[in-house]
Amino acid sequence: QVQLQESGPGLVEPSGTLSLTCAVSGYSISSGHWWSWVRQPPGKGLEWIGEIDYSGSPIYSPSLKSRLTISVDKSKNQFSLNLSSVTAADTAVYYCARQGTYTSDYWGQGILVTVSS
Amino acid sequence: QSALTQPPSASGSPGQSVTISCTGTISDVGGYNYVSWYQQHPGKAPKLMIYEVSKRPSGVPDRFSGSKSGNTASLTVSGLQAEDEADYYCSSYAGSTYVFGTGTKVTVL
């Protein structure tokens, strides 16, 4: 069974960098698929952030591209998200997911990240 | 890249059917047969219910069905049950990126 687990700081200061990691178990990232990040501000809808394939090629949301880096560490079977220059608008629950056929078939439980001083 | 448009709410009595629409453009919903639907209960992660417009993952009841016409996709939940009360989001491939819908809260009366 494929499982994903997000980890990282729950509080980030404004203008700082939000860094999260998604650990994958039950499936080897090196075997394929794309791996994505989605976020959900409190009380609001889902927003696609970006994704990366097993070879390390990322695709970013145009609205976040200038601040975003997604990377993969096949040796640790995990992938990561770095979002720079954060503001309160970046406060959200961040989910990682596995991309099946143009769909997110397995999701992590999510992690709440609050941007505040 | 604007969010896909969904009605904010929908409701139905147990046993009835409810249909949720998801309207996009030719650049997303209308251009690809890659529309997905997700169910989200409060405080939980989204769960895939429909992919590629009308396909159901293993374990999803056949009460859930999807369709598409032009730039609008639809999710129908037949034989509503109490556990179907949740938020539902559509999503579409948009040519290298993805876009989600605004979300619909389904209430079982």
pLDDT digits (tens, 9 = 90+) for A5-35: 999 999 999 999 999 999 999 999 999 899 9
User: In this predicted model, which residue has the larger pLDDT, B82 or A56?
Assistant: B82
What is the predicted pLDDT for the residue at B80?
97
- Compute the distance between CA of residue A38 and CA of residue B100 in angstroms, rounded to an integer: 10
How large is the average pLDDT for residues A83-104?
96
Of A48, A104, A108, the CB nearest to B48: A104
Q: How far, in Å, CA of B37 to CA of B73, rounded?
A: 10
Q: Which amino acid would we find at residue A51? A: E
Question: What was the pLDDT predicted at A54?
Answer: 87
Mean pLDDT of chain A, nearest integer: 96
Q: What is the mean pLDDT of residues A33-45?
A: 97
pLDDT for the residue numbered B86: 98
Nearest to B1 among A62, A100, A110 (CB): A62
Closest Cα in chain B, distance from residue A41 (Å): 12
Are the Cβ atoms of B102 and A45 closer than 8 angstroms? Answer: yes
pLDDT for B68 equals 98
Tell me the mean pLDDT in the region A59-79: 96
Q: Which of B34, B98, B100, B102 to mutate to test the interface with A (most CBs of A within 10 A)?
A: B98
Which residue does chain B place closest to A102, by CA atoms? B34
Q: B52-75: per-residue pLDDT in tens?
A: 999 999 999 999 999 999 999 999
pLDDT of residue A101: 84
Q: What is the pLDDT of residue A13?
A: 97
**Residue A56: predicted pLDDT:** 87
State whether residue A107 sits within 8 Å of chain B by CB: yes
Q: What is the pLDDT of residue A43?
A: 96
Tell me what pLDDT residue B1 has: 77
* A59, A104, A110 member nearest B96 (Cβ): A59
Indicate the pairing of strand A104-107 with strand B86-93.
unpaired
Distances (CA, A) of A55 to A72, A95, A100, A101, A104: 8, 21, 16, 17, 19
- pLDDT (average), residues B27-37: 97
Tokens of A105: 């078939």
Does the beta carbon of A108 lie under 8 angstroms from any beta carbon of chain B?
yes
**Confidence category of residue A55, pLDDT binned at 50, 70, 90:** confident
Taking chain B, what is the end-to-end CA distance rounded to the nearest angstrom?
Answer: 35
pLDDT band of A47, cuts 50, 70, 90: very high
Beta bridge partners of B89: B38
